[in-house]
Amino acid sequence: MGKIVSVFVVLGFLVLNCFANFGSHAQRLPDDEVQTLQSIFRKLNFRNGQVNQTSCTEGSWNVTIDDSNGSNFTCDCTYSNNTVCHVTVILLKGFNLAGVIPEEFGNLTFLQEVDLSRNYFNGSLPKSFARLQNLTKLLILGNRLSGSIPLEIGDISTLEELVLEDNQLVGPLPENLGNLKSLRRILLSSNNFTGSIPESYGNLKNLTEFRIDGSNLTGRIPNFIGNWTKLDRLDLQGTSLEGPIPSTISQLKNLTELRISDLKGSSSSFPNLQDMKKMERLILRNCLITGRIPEYIEDMTDLKILDLSFNQLTGPVPGILQNLKKIDYIFLTNNSLSGTLPDWILTSEKNLDLSYNNFTESSPATCRESRVNILSSFSSTGSNSVSWCLKKDLPCPKEAKHYSLFINCGGSPTEFEENDYEEDLNTQGPSNFGIVSDRWAYSSTGVYVGNESSKYLAANQYGLNVSGAEYYKTARLAPQSLKYYGLCMLKGSYTVKLHFAEIMFTNDQTYKSLGKRMFDVSIQGKQVLKDFDIMEEAGGVGIGITREFKDVSVNGSTMEIHLYWAGKGTNAIPYRGVYGPLISAITVTPNFEVDTGGGLSAGAIVGIVAGSCAVVIILLFILWRLGYLGGKNVEDKELRGLDLQTGYFTLRQIKAATNNFDAANKIGEGGFGPVYKGTLSDGAVIAVKQLSSKSKQGNREFVNEIGMISALQHQNLVKLYGCCIEGNQLLLVYEYLENNSLARALFGNAITKITYTFSLHLWN
Ligand SMILES: *[C@@H]1O[C@H](CO)[C@@H](O)[C@H](O)[C@H]1NC(C)=O
Ligand SMILES: *[C@@H]1O[C@H](CO)[C@@H](O)[C@H](O)[C@H]1NC(C)=O
Ligand SMILES: *[C@@H]1O[C@H](CO)[C@@H](O)[C@H](O)[C@H]1NC(C)=O
Ligand SMILES: *[C@@H]1O[C@H](CO)[C@@H](O)[C@H](O)[C@H]1NC(C)=O
Ligand SMILES: *[C@@H]1O[C@H](CO)[C@@H](O)[C@H](O)[C@H]1NC(C)=O
Ligand SMILES: *[C@@H]1O[C@H](CO)[C@@H](O)[C@H](O)[C@H]1NC(C)=O
Ligand SMILES: *[C@@H]1O[C@H](CO)[C@@H](O)[C@H](O)[C@H]1NC(C)=O
Ligand SMILES: *[C@@H]1O[C@H](CO)[C@@H](O)[C@H](O)[C@H]1NC(C)=O
Ligand SMILES: *[C@@H]1O[C@H](CO)[C@@H](O)[C@H](O)[C@H]1NC(C)=O
Ligand SMILES: *[C@@H]1O[C@H](CO)[C@@H](O)[C@H](O)[C@H]1NC(C)=O
Ligand SMILES: *[C@@H]1O[C@H](CO)[C@@H](O)[C@H](O)[C@H]1NC(C)=O
Ligand SMILES: *[C@@H]1O[C@H](CO)[C@@H](O)[C@H](O)[C@H]1NC(C)=O
């Protein structure tokens, strides 16, 4: 009869499925099998792991689990004329089971599938699995397995899937895995294998998937990969293998996903992929490929991702790319593509990254945020009409003036050691250039393997208690390449501090703690960190560390900090798509004396004036247009003559300076509101005039006062540092003077008179 009894999974319960003769009490698990299972459960410290001879047909094994991954057991009860059951499938995924994998698995000789992925097993892979002569699937992704793969695994002639990704296995790949002629999937990425891929693997003609990212494999990419004609997916990212990609690859006509990156060796032209019409994801990044992008890419009509970045491709961007109807992402960044940028690119709705190429003619493109990133793609000799962000090295469009940079990567504005770290909260990623302020910009490239919707801002989703500065609590990350640019910086030597904290893994004894993130960092084109592993360097997760680089020179006006994923580390822990360079904050300070002029406190001027005069000018202009500015005979050019030397403050800064407008700091009440004394984070003493509300009168007063005082350099007058417009707050920030001039300038009726006087002086 062989009726199937399925005890269905309720979230959180382990279920035993039995191919059982319903109603018969004759079906039993043999006694030795019961004992073996009991022994295994005991060793795994498996709560409720009760088992007896009727377990396949009665009740269920109820186990509390912390993760629901569809774990269950399956019995086949059709043996001996439907009287005997055997366990054939054991799926125990995401339970964080610890210790070594019990040898006793090898006694369950009827097993066909074993999946122990995402647990916390350590020790070596038991040789006893070789006794399972009907085993087809052995999956142990995301554990702590160490040592080398036992030779005995090569004796499981029935094996079709071997998944040992994301472990700590070492040593050479066993030669005799080449005997496993039934193997379809072999996933060994993110281990620490060495040596070359054995010649015998050329026999694995049934392979559909071969993945071995991130191991330190050496030698050439073997020619015999051409024998894997059934291959559907090939991943060879970050392996240390040498190019060129062998010509035999042309035989892999069924490939839908091909990922090769960071090859060593010599350069070569584009490999022949002409017959791969089923290709959906083609990634050949940093593979030393020269020459043109072949036209036959057009025939890959299912193509979703094309990544040919970091090669030496030349010639124009082929027009055929616009015919790829299913394409979502194209990355051609860091090549030597030339010619004009076709119009279709500039109007494309796809994510296109063409940054860092060698285009020659100007285009109507501007430095805007869009899905199309053409950052720094034009040679610096290009015409002046080319926007600055498209020119090589991002030359400063005006006079360079910055000499410090503080960014809270992936986070909100924060203060640390009296420096204000700017916010960096843009959520865009795959091909993004964001100009965040006039001081800095960032560029992010890439799409996460196996999880295209993964985020570009790191989240501390497991409630880690992150120590150290506030900025360690957040971070920005990218699947591929992340660049931060300091813009319009003065020439000279700087100290760069990069702050890192791993916040995406846990610090408990679960598989979620087993992630390994590795990336490289270059500053000004020079590699300063290789295979950098935050967690290892910091000694754990949630711990901030800083890497300091003392003599970074800016010869032009741009500082470039580049973080790059070279294919190493895990990318499926805690879940697929967690990997890539991650950074918490950036601190750049000058190694030279800065002449701030005028004898004013350096911090005050720099921190403030640089901010955004534009805000004030724009405000002025709007108010002027709305008629709030009075003086109807004053002309535009006169307004422009104001040459505002003012900066912009945040309300937070001012609240901090005045102790949240503490009454104790109030030094007077002017015609339009109170005045407070305050101290900025750099020690500069200020007077803050608070205009009660954004009333019409207030605006007029505000603008008059900014316009007037900022334009004045008269010694007896107080210096206006800047302003703040936030919510209904209008605030003016002045230099604080002890003597009467402050009072004269800030209080009472004198304002109108002074305005008038200086209006005459300036505008007549
Ligand atoms: C056998 O174990 C099952 C759970 O696996 C339980 O429901 C059943 O009551 C047990 N039977 C005996 C006879 O102990
Ligand atoms: C499974 O165990 C949980 C807690 O141990 C209990 O609340 C629940 O009722 C059990 N379910 C079954 C079907 O035995
Ligand atoms: C057992 O687990 C596998 C893999 O997770 C799943 O595909 C299958 O549906 C599960 N069976 C039952 C009855 O839950
Ligand atoms: C198998 O079982 C059926 C009924 O349960 C019986 O008729 C048949 O003779 C059995 N066959 C053998 C080989 O025992
Ligand atoms: C199970 O295997 C171990 C060795 O792996 C062996 O010592 C033991 O006798 C076996 N137990 C049974 C019940 O077969
Ligand atoms: C292995 O599979 C074959 C064919 O399915 C079967 O006849 C044999 O009994 C199985 N052996 C074991 C030990 O499971
Ligand atoms: C290879 O795969 C085919 C079809 O999937 C299968 O029929 C054949 O038996 C496999 N070859 C080996 C050696 O397992
Ligand atoms: C890989 O193994 C080498 C020694 O063979 C060791 O030095 C290195 O740290 C290991 N790397 C990783 C990522 O485990
Ligand atoms: C690849 O296949 C060809 C023909 O099937 C065979 O001659 C060659 O030996 C194979 N290469 C390897 C390394 O198995
Ligand atoms: C890779 O191997 C090379 C040479 O064997 C060695 O120098 C290097 O340190 C290894 N890298 C890693 C990450 O293990
Ligand atoms: C390629 O895939 C098709 C269907 O997807 C299949 O019919 C064909 O046999 C495959 N070719 C090879 C060489 O495996
Ligand atoms: C960029 O193009 C110019 C000519 O337009 C050429 O002189 C230069 O060599 C090219 N640079 C690269 C890196 O290809």
| pLDDT 10s digits, 329-352 | 999 999 999 988 888 887 888 888
Residue nearest to atom 13 of ligand 10 (CA): 216
With cut-offs at 50, 70 and 90, classify the pLDDT of residue 57.
confident
How many whole angstroms from 141 Cα to the centroid of ligand 5? 26
Name the pTM for this structure: 0.77
Which one has a higher pLDDT value, 64 or 209?
209
Mean of the per-residue pLDDT values for the chain? 81
% of residues, the chain, pLDDT over 90: 55
How many whole angstroms from 134 Cα to the centroid of ligand 6? 6
Instruction: Choose which residue among 170, 568, 573 to substitute to test ligand 8 binding: the one with the highest number of ligand atoms within 8 A of its C-beta.
Output: 170
Q: Tokens 């107080």 appear where?
A: 718
Which one has a higher pLDDT value, 604 or 481?
481
pLDDT digits (tens, 9 = 90+) for 220-237: 999 999 999 999 999 999
Instruction: Give me the mean pLDDT over the 131-155 stretch.
Output: 97
Amino acid at 216: N
How many whole angstroms from 62 Cα to the centroid of ligand 2? 6
pLDDT at res. 698: 46
Q: Rg of the chain over CA atoms, in angstroms?
A: 33
Q: Which atom of ligand 9 lies at the shortest distance from residue 222's CA?
A: 13
Residue 358's closest CA among 380, 336, 342, 374?
336
pLDDT at res. 535: 96
How many angstroms separate the Cα of 450 from the Cα of each of 21, 365, 479, 572, 754? 41, 33, 11, 8, 67
Residue 261's closest CA among 240, 232, 231, 230?
240
How many whole angstroms from 56 Cα to the centroid of ligand 2? 18
With cut-offs at 50, 70 and 90, classify the pLDDT of residue 629.
very low
pLDDT digits (tens, 9 = 90+) for 19-51: 444 444 557 889 999 999 999 989 988 765 678
Q: Which helix (H) or strand (E) holds 697?
A: helix 696-711
Whether pLDDT at 14 is above 90: no
pLDDT at res. 459: 83
Distance in Å from the first CA to the final CA of the chain: 107
| Whether 179 contacts 162, CB under 8 Å | no
Residue nearest to atom 7 of ligand 9 (CA): 227
pLDDT digits (tens, 9 = 90+) for 282-341: 999 999 999 999 999 999 999 999 999 999 999 999 999 999 999 999 999 999 999 888
Q: Counting ligands in written order, which one lies closest to the CA of residue 35?
A: 5
Instruction: Give me the mean pLDDT over the 396-408 stretch.
Output: 92
| Whether 319 contacts 297, CB under 8 Å | no
Q: How many CB atoms within 10 Å of residue 524? A: 18
> How many Å apart are CA 221 and CA 228, to the nearest integer?
13
How many angstroms separate the Cα of 610 from the Cα of each of 394, 475, 604? 19, 25, 10
pLDDT at res. 386: 66
pLDDT digits (tens, 9 = 90+) for 89-99: 998 888 899 99
**Domains assigned to the chain:** 39-207 (3.80.10.10), 405-590 (2.60.120.430), 602-763 (3.30.200.20)
How many whole angstroms from 156 Cα to the centroid of ligand 7? 15
Q: Which atom of ligand 11 lies at the shortest distance from residue 230's CA?
A: 14
With cut-offs at 50, 70 and 90, classify the pLDDT of residue 617.
very low
| Whether 73 contacts 97, CB under 8 Å | no
* Angle at 522 (CA atoms; ends 585, 335), nearest 5 degrees: 120
pLDDT digits (tens, 9 = 90+) for 346-388: 788 888 898 899 887 655 556 666 677 877 777 755 556 667 7
CB of 206 shorter than 6 A to ligand 11:
no
Residue 225: strand, helix, or coil: helix
The token duo for 283 is 């990634």
With cut-offs at 50, 70 and 90, classify the pLDDT of residue 681.
confident
Residue nearest to atom 5 of ligand 6 (CA): 134
The token duo for 522 is 């270059």
The token duo for 498 is 């990069």
